[in-house]
């Protein structure tokens, strides 16, 4: 399902919108500026006076008018229960053996195990294959298990976070967010 990337007026990602919501923003003039050469065109009903069908172009990236107050919402994406954003941050690579796996063979590993007070936050979790996590590492730290991390976990910035949770991200949206990623980001690294 296509989503529209909504920004605040300063260009910070605000929310992924479903199409219906985006159409409402465009139709009611709540868009301050927009990006994307290839808007999606939607048709409404026929106007009685003119006999013409109304039409509306919805750009892939829209900045909402009167959104100055939203800037405070542009904070990093929380680490939820869904593992997809974590696996995407780590490019589906196990942090211990370096293998690249499908979703079914991957787990969320807590570097400092939860049972020992490790927190469920971006900075304490990495993608690990089932064997490395459940069989080899178990309830130990990487040091105790003799399993050094192949890469360092980090909290995605807001731009990276939107890429990680986006579904079917369009080219213009990808371009906007990717241009603002920090250098350490691995999300789009080749």
CB of 97 to Zn ion, least distance (A): 3
Half-sphere CA count of 164, side-chain side, radius 13 A = 28
Taking CB under 5 A as the binding criterion, the range among 22-30, 48-56, 83-91, 94-102 that sits at the site for Zn ion is 94-102
Q: How many Å apart are CA 69 and CA 75, to the nearest integer?
A: 13
Is the Cβ of residue 94 or residue 169 nearer to Zn ion in the bound state? 94
CA neighbor of 60 nearest in space, from 114, 22, 100: 22
126 lies in the site for Zn ion, by CB under 5 A: no
Q: Choose which of 17, 64, 132, 187 interacts with Zn ion (CB under 5 A).
A: 132
96 lies in the site for Zn ion, by CB under 5 A: yes
Q: How many Å apart are CA 161 and CA 75, to the nearest integer?
A: 9
Is the Cβ of residue 80 or residue 98 nearer to Zn ion in the bound state? 98
Query: Alpha carbon of 36 to those of 49, 63, 170: distances in Å?
Result: 32, 12, 10
Is the Cβ of residue 78 or residue 98 nearer to Zn ion in the bound state? 98
CB of 111 to Zn ion, least distance (A): 14
Q: Choose which of 7, 22, 63, 94 interacts with Zn ion (CB under 5 A).
A: 94
7 lies in the site for Zn ion, by CB under 5 A: no
Is the Cβ of residue 78 or residue 138 nearer to Zn ion in the bound state? 138
Number of H helices, E strands in the chain: 6, 8
97 lies in the site for Zn ion, by CB under 5 A: yes
Return residues touching Zn ion (CB under 5 A).
Answer: 94, 96-97, 129, 132
């Amino acid at each position: 399902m296509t989503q529209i990337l909504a920004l605040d007026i300063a260009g910070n990602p605000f929310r992924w919108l479903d199409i219906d919501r985006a159409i409402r923003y465009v139709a009611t003039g709540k868009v301050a500026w927009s990006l994307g050469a290839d808007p999606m065109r939607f048709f409404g009903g026929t106007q009685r006076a003119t006999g013409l069908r109304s039409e509306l172009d919805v750009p892939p990236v829209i900045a909402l008018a009167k959104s100055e107050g939203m800037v405070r919402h542009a904070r990093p994406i929380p680490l939820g229960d869904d593992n997809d954003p974590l696996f995407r941050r780590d490019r589906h690579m196990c942090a211990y053996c370096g293998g690249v796996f499908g979703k079914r063979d991957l787990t969320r590993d807590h570097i400092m195990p939860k049972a020992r007070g490790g927190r469920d936050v971006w900075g304490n979790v990495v993608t690990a294959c089932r064997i490395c996590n459940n069989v080899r590492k178990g309830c130990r730290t990487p040091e105790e298990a003799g399993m050094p991390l192949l890469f360092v976990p980090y909290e995605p910035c807001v731009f990276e976070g939107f890429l990680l949770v986006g579904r079917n991200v369009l080219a213009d949206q990808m371009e906007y967010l990717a241009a603002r990623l920090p250098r350490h980001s691995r999300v789009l690294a080749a």
